[in-house]
């Protein structure tokens, strides 16, 4: 969930995200905006071209998280798949990044 969303002017925002059930936990800062910082855009484009996710998050139940995200309209480029000792899925964050979700298998 969004914790901070501050307009800094000139199309720049200070946006942080936290877990809904742990609002005083770690905050994820979304920056820099690739469209406003060319080196970041070059890096983002290279990751997309290589098929490498921008980042990944560990989840406890990939099937449940996949279903929840699909229900709210998230588009996946890789549906949940087993690969070795993990299950993983990849979605597009609509900002030009692919995000990987991983569940460790026991």
Condensed to tens digits (0 to 9), the pLDDT of residues 46-63 reads: 998 998 998 899 999 999
Tell me if the domain spanning 52-106 has CATH number 3.40.50.300: no
24 neighbors 11 (Cβ within 8 angstroms): no
Looking at residue 33, its pLDDT comes to 66
DSSP the chain: -EEEEEEEETTEEEEEE-BTTBTTS--EEE---TTT-HHHHHHHHHHHHHT--SEEEE-S-HHHHHHHHHHTTPPEEEEEEEETTEEEEEEE-SSS-EEEEEEE--
Domain boundaries of the chain, sorted by first residue: 52-106
Mean pLDDT of 5-13: 81
Mean pLDDT of 92-105: 89
Question: Is the per-residue pLDDT at 13 higher than 90?
Answer: no
Find the farthest-apart pair of alpha carbons in the chain and give their distance in angstroms, rounded. 48
């Amino acid at each position: 969930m969004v914790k901070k969303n501050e307009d800094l002017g000139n199309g720049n925002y200070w946006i942080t995200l936290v877990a809904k059930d742990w609002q005083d936990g770690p905050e994820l800062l979304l920056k820099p905006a690739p469209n406003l910082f060319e080196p970041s855009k070059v890096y983002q484009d290279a990751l997309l071209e290589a098929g490498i996710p921008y980042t990944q998050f560990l989840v406890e139940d990939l099937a449940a998280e996949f279903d929840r995200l699909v229900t709210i309209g998230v588009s996946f480029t890789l549906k949940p798949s087993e690969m070795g000792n993990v299950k993983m899925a990849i979605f597009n964050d609509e900002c030009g990044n692919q995000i990987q979700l991983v569940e460790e298998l026991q």
